[in-house]
């Protein structure tokens, strides 16, 4: 599978199945596209000769050399590589019997009333409720019982707003710590919070117990306060930003993510990212597209796409500038490893939702014979590794 695009003056060709990335000139870019569309060498040569007929620097010999290079890369498995694992994906998925992560919906309620919330203001289109310690404890036992030989186990406190059930979060972590050595496990906890309930106690606890903390902020005050409001309609920016800054400072600027949402109303979302970086001092950033019905005012439209594409390119160039200046920022979706090739395990197993990673709701019954509910966790941005 070939994916081609132009960015910042570069012609980029990605061979998906080999993981090879090529920066090529115009002739090679067009030649690869022609071959990918089914043209023979002779047909591609003729089409290229016609297209570049007015370019004195593109001769028939040059075109032949380009096609020879493509043949060499193809023979080396770096272009038009076959998907050697296509026949194994489904079977591998079915044979997966190890659970490695849980998302604990400790609170199906929230102290904010964000109209764009994919979780229906934290209740997930159901009844409001809090998870009991007993349910959470059984979920942790389930994770251990079904984790096989995995040592690192991931658990995310999620909602709604998990800090509305902070006492149970503390009890569950204490329980996990009391049994992890017995079973040779290492629990890594994540807290995803809107920040309203952050206190000094919460900060101290997160710094001690949480591998990562995800902090929800949409960026500029006017952008954040358009949707992220309380039940009385008041914006949250002024209440949460100082708490987020205090928490991040206490964590030494590590082990967190600012998690924003861009909608039809802020397709210029880089302004929100740069506000968080330059004005608020946050360096670990994430920004997700809104999940909304197409007829919602906040929903992204087809007309928004070119603007969004420009934003991602602008962000990439700005991150390069910051890197060269010695003041880098991290953007979650730009965390790539181009040195070790494609992740075969991920390719053939998928994301693991429903098999390796599951969500537990407040009223769940967790036994090895009954599956936990698998839900789309659009807000979990962790840096955990396998």
The answer to whether the Cα torsion of 174, 176, 180, 183 is positive or negative is positive
Do 275 and 219 touch, CB atoms closer than 8 A?
Answer: yes
Name the architecture of domain 90-349: Alpha-Beta Barrel (3.20)
* pLDDT at 101 (0 to 100): 93
What gap in Å lies between CA 328 and CA 321, rounded to an integer? 8
Burial level of 227, CB count in 10 A (0-12/13-18/19+)? buried
* pLDDT at 375 (0 to 100): 35
Q: Mind listing the pLDDT tens digit for each residue in 180-219?
A: 999 999 999 999 999 999 999 999 999 999 999 999 999 9
Per-residue pLDDT of the chain in tens (386 residues, 90 and over written 9): 999 999 888 999 999 888 899 999 999 999 999 999 999 999 999 999 999 999 999 999 999 999 999 999 999 999 999 988 777 666 655 666 788 999 999 999 999 988 887 655 544 556 778 999 999 999 999 999 999 999 999 999 998 899 999 999 999 999 999 999 999 999 999 999 999 999 999 999 999 999 999 999 999 999 999 999 998 999 999 999 999 999 999 999 999 999 999 999 999 999 999 999 999 999 999 999 998 889 999 999 999 999 999 999 999 999 999 999 999 999 988 887 666 655 666 666 666 666 687 889 887 644 433 333 333 333 222 222 22
- What are the residue boundaries of the structural domains of the chain, listed by start? 2-75, 90-349
Greatest Cα pair distance, the chain, in angstroms, is 77
Do 161 and 107 touch, CB atoms closer than 8 A?
Answer: yes
Residues in the chain: 386
* pLDDT at 252 (0 to 100): 95
CATH topology of domain 2-75: Arc Repressor Mutant, subunit A (1.10.10)
What are the distances in angstroms from CA 109 to CA 12, 114, 202? Answer: 46, 12, 19
11 — phi, psi (to 5°)? -100, 110
What gap in Å lies between CA 165 and CA 146, rounded to an integer? 26
Please provide the distance, in angstroms rounded to a whole number, between the alpha carbons at the two ends of the chain.
27
* pLDDT at 351 (0 to 100): 62
* pLDDT at 354 (0 to 100): 62
* Both tokens assigned to 340: 């070790």
Q: Does 90-349 match 2-75 at the fold level?
A: no
């Amino acid at each position: 599978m070939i994916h081609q695009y132009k960015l910042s003056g570069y012609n980029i060709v990605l061979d998906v199945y080999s993981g090879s990335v090529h920066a090529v000139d115009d002739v090679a870019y067009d030649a690869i596209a022609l071959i990918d569309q089914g043209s023979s060498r002779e047909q591609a040569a003729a089409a290229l000769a016609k297209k570049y007929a007015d370019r004195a620097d593109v001769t028939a010999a040059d075109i032949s050399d380009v096609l020879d290079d493509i043949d060499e890369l193809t023979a080396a498995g770096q272009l038009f590589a076959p998907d050697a694992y296509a026949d194994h994906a489904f079977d591998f998925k079915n044979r997966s019997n190890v659970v490695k992560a849980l998302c604990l919906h400790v609170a199906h309620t929230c102290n904010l009333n964000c109209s764009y919330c994919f979780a229906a203001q934290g209740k997930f289109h159901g009844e409001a409720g809090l998870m009991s310690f007993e349910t959470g404890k059984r979920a942790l036992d389930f994770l251990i019982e079904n984790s096989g030989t995995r040592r690192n186990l991931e658990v995310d406190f999620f909602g709604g707003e998990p800090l509305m059930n902070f006492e149970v979060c503390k009890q569950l972590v204490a329980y996990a710590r009391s049994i992890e050595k017995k079973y040779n496990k290492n629990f890594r906890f994540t807290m995803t919070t809107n920040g309203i309930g952050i206190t000094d106690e919460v900060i101290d606890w997160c710094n001690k117990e949480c591998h990562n903390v995800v902090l929800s902020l949409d960026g500029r005050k006017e952008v954040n306060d358009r949707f992220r409001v309380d039940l009385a309609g008041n914006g949250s920016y002024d209440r949460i930003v100082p708490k987020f800054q205090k928490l991040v400072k206490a964590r030494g600027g590590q082990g967190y993510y600012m998690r924003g949402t861009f909608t039809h109303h802020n397709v210029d979302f880089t302004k929100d990212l740069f506000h968080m970086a330059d004005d608020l001092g946050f360096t670990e950033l994430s920004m997700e597209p809104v999940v909304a019905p197409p007829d919602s005012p906040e929903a992204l439209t087809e007309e928004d796409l070119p603007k969004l594409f420009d934003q991602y390119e602008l962000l990439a160039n700005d991150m390069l500038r910051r890197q060269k200046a010695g003041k880098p920022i991290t953007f979650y979706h730009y965390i790539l490893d181009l040195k070790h090739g494609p992740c075969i395990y991920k390719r053939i197993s998928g994301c693991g939702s429903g098999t390796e990673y599951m969500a537990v709701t407040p009223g769940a019954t967790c036994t090895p014979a009954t599956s936990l509910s698998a839900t789309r966790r659009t807000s979990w941005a962790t840096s955990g590794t396998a």
